[in-house]
Amino acid sequence: MLSIKGQVIERLLQGAFICRTTDEDGWRFLTIPGNRDEVDSYLGQLNRQVATVGTGGEGEVFFCGYRQLGDTERKVIGQQFRDICQALTPLAEWLVLVQEAAAQDAPLTEGAPVRLNALQTVIEDTPAFREQLARISHYRLFGSTSPTVDTQLKLVFKRLCELGYLTRPNPEKQIYLATGKLDYLYEVIRFIDEAEGLSLEAQAEVASQGQLL
């Protein structure tokens, strides 16, 4: 049997994001600086290290990053960056859909539950949401060809679980939890926003005020 340190190292090397929702024990283990250093020195032999994202404390998310970047590593990272940029729009649309369908002010964050059945009822009853879902599910990220809401939604959720944005704690229930990888997504958008000076927040605010007027 693996010790908790072994489990954490294994999950990191599998490319997993360790947050409080997906792996509470591992997350707790890594929040202790001494443990993190041990894992770090182990990963160092593979030219890797523990990287974090998110505000410190409760919302921290751990993943595995390179320690030193050579040409090969740069190529890999560049590809990953292009992948995540392509995934941004479908994921953002999905997040907005879930938020609006549930009539909440806050978008999904780590640990927030999503009830698939409730969501499905709302979407089926609202033509605008149905269209939105159809558009989202036809993105290449999800790759659905189905015309029904039921299969589209199930496929989207299945893909999101595969990609690590959602987890399903009880396989018999249609209740999903958002993971810390979503927080990573927000950080990516924020980074692009800041680096390119897009001032997305201001745009959204102007747009929402325009709607009010």
φ and ψ of 50, to 5 deg:
-80, 125
Q: In this chain, which stretch among 73-81, 120-128, 136-144, 154-162 interacts with other proteins, using CB under 8 A?
A: 73-81
| DSSP label of 57 | G
CB of 184 to other proteins, least distance (A): 8
Q: How many residues bind other proteins (CB under 8 A)?
A: 54
Q: In this chain, which stretch among 19-27, 122-130, 137-145, 182-190 interacts with other proteins, using CB under 8 A?
A: 182-190
Q: In whole angstroms, what is the distance from residue 176 CA to residue 168 CA?
A: 5
Distances (CA, A) of 200 to 110, 131, 173, 194, 197: 22, 25, 37, 9, 8
- CB 116: neighbour CB atoms within 10 A? 18
Residues 1-20 that bind other proteins (CB under 8 A): 10, 13-15
Looking at residue 170, its amino acid is N
Task: Please say which residue, 65 or 111, places its beta carbon nearer to other proteins.
Answer: 65
Count, residues in the chain: 213
Spacing of C-alpha 66 from chain mean position: 20
Distances (CA, A) of 212 to 40, 61, 162: 51, 37, 39
CB of 166 to other proteins, least distance (A): 16
Q: Which of 64, 87, 136, 178 binds other proteins (CB under 8 A)?
A: 64
Draw the binding track, 106-125, toward other proteins (x: CB under 8 A; -: no contact). xx-x----------------
Footprint of other proteins (CB under 8 A) = 10, 13-15, 46, 48, 51, 53, 63-66, 69, 73-74, 76-78, 80-81, 84-85, 88-89, 92-93, 95-96, 99, 105-107, 109, 184, 186-193, 195-196, 198-205, 207-208
